[in-house]
Structure 1
Amino acid sequence: MPTVLIIDDNAAVAVALEVLFSLHDIAALRAASPEEGLQMLARHRVDLVIQDMNFTADTTSGEEGVALFREIRARHPDLPVILLTAWTHLDAAVDLVKSGAADYLSKPWDDQRLLATVTNLVELGQANRALQQRVQRERREKRELESRYKLCGMVWEDPATERVLQLACQVARADVPVLITGPNGTGKERIAEIIKANSSVADGPFVVLNCGALPAELIEAELFGADAGAYTGASKAREGKFEAADGGTLFLDEIGNLPLAGQMKLLRVLETGRFERLGSNRERQVKVRVISATNADLAAMIRAGTFREDLFYRLNVIELRLPPLASRPADILPLANSFLGGRKKLDAAAQASLLAHSWPGNVRELKNVMARAGLLATGDFIGAADLGLPLVAPAAGVDMEPDRDTIAQALARANGVVAQAAADLGLSRQALYRRMERLGIARP
């Protein structure tokens, strides 16, 4: 049940409010003076304050109410305050609303308006607290992950990415094949690097082969090596990727492009650890941790007969699916800022454009966009026009500005330092304070 503190020296007013709230499942506390009200705020958890503007019989200036509000704001900056005012205090009440009061109501008040205002403010405060708790929890989980594992410079804020990272670190020590799936450009190789860095063969080699970047006739030679004369142009023996990765990790990117003949030989190596170079009868033994990745639908390829089902299950002991960038929007701005390397900042319009873009090329596209913007922007800030993306037109009646989550994440990254968060968002400190107030975000 939400709790409202009523600070009013008029007992009839306080009792009337208390009865009104009790009829609508809102608990009420009463204080007859500013001093008593501040003491109760120190002792009780309160969702909202309703305070009178005048507490002295021989004056109608409202100075006592102004002083009380400023003291409440200083001690409890995120607590919403509604002012009850007579017409003589109206100017003072309006000034206090500009200074952060939630609303003011004239006496006698309208019950329905008062209840609606209180309900909305309480719900907004609860949502803000839930958001802050979520941000704090995510920050704590991120710090724990960063302290326990080597994350190879990975930049992220989105919970969807964190779930992938947690699973990647969890399975890293297990000596089993891992299949990383997801669209092109999402960072699958970085996940493979993280698995390797936290594995039992972290000190061994990390060898990469893009199966989609070579002609089909050369892939087997790349994987297994070849003796001299094994094929046209093979003037000397060459080592394959499996030999190079012995005692370490082999990352096979775009595994769906591996020809069927190569798939059969790869399956044998995974099962036995043995293989032969092209043109050789001598069997070689290796111990290699295989991590593979693909943007293809391997299940559909199995049905079409272009990918071996037995190889799929051998590779897919653990599957990690990395979502597209558009599905982890909280990563967009941190990644964009990391690509800028602190050289320039994104203004609010640029941030809105980045967040609105669908990112078909994922992280790779974002990196290229930021490289372009860094070159084209002439000042310290990057604007929307510098990005080369479709400009985002504000909806009718809506300012193009950071939303609640964006501001909360900026504050979290800045450890609550408003000036730093404002610079990160391309705003002045005063502008950020105003937007925090409007969105009901508590000041740190």
Structure 2
Amino acid sequence: MSSRILIIDDNQDITKALMVMLKIEGFDAVVVHSPNEGLLKLNESDFNLVIQDMNFSEDMTSGKEGIELFHQIRNINPDIPIIIITAWTHVETAVDLVKHGAADYIGKPWDDDKLMVSIKNLLELEEVRQSHAIYHQNKLNQDTQLKTEFNLCGIHYQSDLMTRLLQMTTQIAHSDVPVLITGPNGVGKEKIAEIVQANSSCSKGPFIKVNVGALPQELLEAELFGAEAGAYTGNTKLRIGRFEAANNGTLFLDEIGNLSHEGQIKLLRVLQTGEFERIGSHQTIKVNVRIISATNSDLKQAILEERFREDLFYRLNVIELAVPALCDRKEDILPLTNLFLSSGYKVQQSVINLFQSYHWPGNVRELQNVLKRAMLLAQNKIITLEHINIKLDVQKKQSAIQEINKQVIIDSLKDNNHNIMETARCLGLSRSALYRRLKKFNIEY
């Protein structure tokens, strides 16, 4: 579909010339000869670009009519590109309109090639802007739908990766199939498990969590399946296992890759039949439990190394939810920072810039811990670079700062009211090193 261009000019020779030129280039052009006609057309239908004159009355040469028309068009459509056609005597006025949002100005007589380059460039930019606007509106609609239709358990996010993950999470939550949540340590796998449970058909039932990797191997089976009194040394009373406690609800097994071989066999049986026995007992217990498991391990590699049963893997991995590392979704850093900050605390922009450049090997958990420490040190509740203990050696920290080089220095100067000594201290630089960077980046201070 060709772009539609509205031409508003009282000179019929000019409008005819523009019409011919635009038609040759394949554009759909509409001509009107007065501001009122132009405004009427804009209210009636959509256009991609406007070309407008500055004067319409024979006794007017000041450009006042064109200025008024420009602002009226802006009121109707604040985003539409507007090209001003002006006599050379009105260049100053046209330049002033450019400062107020006009896309370009063309002097009379114009150069056809230059005018066409300007029109095509502006239409391409407008297409990109509209695509971005549609994309952001769609994302806003998706996020709004997620937040209104589902319980997201207070999760804070902004990235496309997390939007897509949450869409899939809420989509599969209502089924009773086992879910395997994968991702590196500290990314928030437990939070995703909570969202699955909160939107599941057994959301009103118990939600039992057990960190398989944190338990000694000799206690794993008793923890999961329970034990009769006297079943092992030190066990003097009946112990109810997590499976039994989670009956008619959800059991979340974190670090499932660390489950013992014997534990894997028993877990596989529970998944197949819903039945198990407590340690020291031959009585079969039947339960109805939704299994959500999580791991930061490569279970497929563990299968090859015979450390994890292949049949159990496929039982657990009916649906896989892969949580991306924080370094792959840096749009989430700011909303997460705001989530972890206690009331009244603020973070300088230079800190946010450093956060954006850092690779966060500890993911969301590391960000939370960094901010906890910073809040303890920030006596005036303003967190600066000096309060941040990101675990980098000096060379790597300098590299991280250099990666955002000019902008982080400008932000730090603003944060410290252009006090050179305070800025250098917050950046971890000597004054002479800061002066060298100010000179290198041509930063006024």
* TM-score (ref. length: structure 2): 0.82
Q: How many angstroms apart in 2 are the aligned matches of 1:36 and 1:384?
A: 58
User: 1:394–1:400: 8 Å Cα contact kept in structure 2?
Assistant: no
Contact 1:348 / 1:400 at 8 angstroms: preserved in 2? no
Equivalents in 2 of 1:268, 1:150: separation in Å? 32
Q: 1:134 offset after TM fit, Å? A: 1.6
Corresponding position of 2:27? 26
Alpha-carbon separation, structure 2, partners of 1:80 and 1:102: 5
Paired residues of 2:228 and 2:281 also in contact (CA < 8 A): yes
Quick one: structure 1 residues 22 and 350, their matched pair in 2 at CA, closer, same or farther if it must change by over 3 Å?
A: farther
Q: Deviations over 1:230-250 (max 9, x none)?
A: 333323332221122122111
Match of 1:61 in 2: 62
Residues of 1 paired with 2:56 and 2:352: CA distance? 48
Output the CA distance in 2 between the equivalents of 1:384 and 1:14. 60
Q: Secondary structure at the match of 1:38?
A: helix
1-structure distance, mates of 2:115, 2:379: 51
Partner of 2:336: 335
The question of 1:215 aligning with 2:208 is answered no
Does structure 1 residue 195 correspond to structure 2 residue 196? yes
Structure 1 stretch 29-38 or stretch 391-400: which is displaced more?
391-400
Deviation at 1:400, TM superposition (A): 8.3
Task: Give the Cα–Cα distance (whole angstroms) in 1 for the partners of residues 226 and 295 of structure 2.
Answer: 23
**CA pair 318-5 structure 1, distance change in 2 beyond 3 A:** same
SS at match of 1:313: helix
Matches of 2:35 and 2:223, distance apart in 1: 80
Deviation at 1:321, TM superposition (A): 1.7
Matches within 5 A, 1:99-118: 99-118=100-119
Q: Whole-Å Cα distance in 2 between the matches of residues 376 and 120 of structure 1?
A: 51
How far off its partner does 1:342 sit?
Answer: 6.3
Q: Which runs of 5+ in 1 are unaligned?
A: 402-444
Query: What is the match of residue 391 of structure 1?
Result: 401
Q: 1:212 to 1:96 in 2, by over 3 A?
A: same
SS in 1 for 2:139: helix
Where in structure 2 are there 5+ consecutive unaligned residues?
A: 391-399, 412-445
Shift of 1:341: 5.9
Structure 1 counterpart SS, 2:213:
coil
CA gap of 1:337–1:92, structure 2 versus 1, over 3 A, is: same
Q: Secondary structure, in 3 states, of the residue corresponding to 1:176?
A: coil
One-letter code aligned to 2:170: C
Moved more, 365-374 or 67-76: 365-374
Counterpart-to-counterpart distance in 2, 1:44 and 1:159: 34
What's the offset of the Cα at 1:359? 2.9
Distance of 1:384 and 1:107 partners within structure 2: 55
Q: Secondary structure at the match of 2:401?
A: coil
Q: Which residue of 2 aligns with 1:271?
A: 272
Question: What corresponds to 1:304 in structure 2?
Answer: 305
| Alignment partners' CA distance in 2, 1:31 and 1:145 | 47
1:38 aligns with 2:48: no
> Structure 2: which amino acid aligns with 1:64?
E
Q: 1:91 to 1:384 in 2, by over 3 A?
A: farther
Aligned to 1:52: 53
Letter in 2 for 1:230: A
Alignment length, in residue pairs? 401
1:181–1:188: 8 Å Cα contact kept in structure 2?
yes
User: Given the alignment of the two structures, is residue 232 of structure 1 paired with residue 242 of structure 2, yes or no?
Assistant: no
- 1:21 Cα offset (Å): 1.7
The one-letter amino acid paired with 2:266 is K
Give 1:406-425 correspondences, 5 Å limit. none
DSSP 3-state at the match of 2:151: coil
For residue 358 of structure 1, what is the amino acid of its counterpart?
Answer: H
The CA RMSD measured in Å over matched residues stands at 2.7
Report what 1:171 is aligned to: 172
Distance 2:70 2:125 in 1: 20
Aligned to 2:425: none
1:139 has 2:149 as partner: no
Please give the alpha-carbon distance, in whole angstroms, between the structure 1 residues aligned to 2:379 and 2:40.
54
Cα contact 2:353–2:404 (8 A) shared by 1: no
> Bigger shift: 79-88 or 303-312?
79-88
| SS of alignment partner, residue 30 of structure 1 | strand
**CA distance in structure 2 between the aligned counterparts of 1:378 and 1:93, rounded to whole angstroms:** 52
Query: Contact 1:352 / 1:400 at 8 angstroms: preserved in 2?
Result: no
* SS across alignment from 1:204: coil
1:78 maps to: 79
Aligned-partner SS, 2:308: coil
Give the drift of 1:193: 1.1
1:315 aligns to 2:316 (yes or no):
yes
Per the TM alignment, residue 156 of structure 1 is displaced from its structure 2 partner at its CA by 2.6
C-alpha distance in structure 2 between counterparts of 1:395 and 1:110, whole Å: 42
Question: What is the one-letter code of the residue matched to 1:63?
Answer: K
How far apart are residue 47 of structure 1 and its match? Answer: 1.0
Three-state SS of the structure 2 residue aligned to 1:25 is coil
Contact 2:156–2:335 (CA under 8 A) maintained in structure 1 = yes
Deviates more, 1:314-323 or 1:231-240: 231-240
Secondary structure at the aligned position of 2:55 is classed as coil
Q: Note closer, same or farther for the CA distance 1:366–1:121 as it changes in structure 2 (3 Å cut).
A: farther
TM-score, normalised with respect to structure 1: 0.82
3-state secondary structure, aligned to 1:212:
helix
User: Retained in 2: the 8 A contact 1:356–1:392?
Assistant: no
Rate the CA distance shift 1:376–1:49 in 2: closer, same or farther, 3 A.
farther
Distance between the aligned counterparts of 1:394 and 1:283, measured in 2?
62
Q: Aligned partners of 2:55, 2:188: CA distance in 1, in Å?
A: 62
Deviation at 1:299, TM superposition (A): 0.9
55-64 or 156-165, which moves further after superposition? 156-165
The aligned amino acid for 1:317 is V
Cα distance change, pair 41–385 in 1 and its aligned pair in 2 (3 A) = farther
Contact 2:42 2:76 in 1 (8 A): no
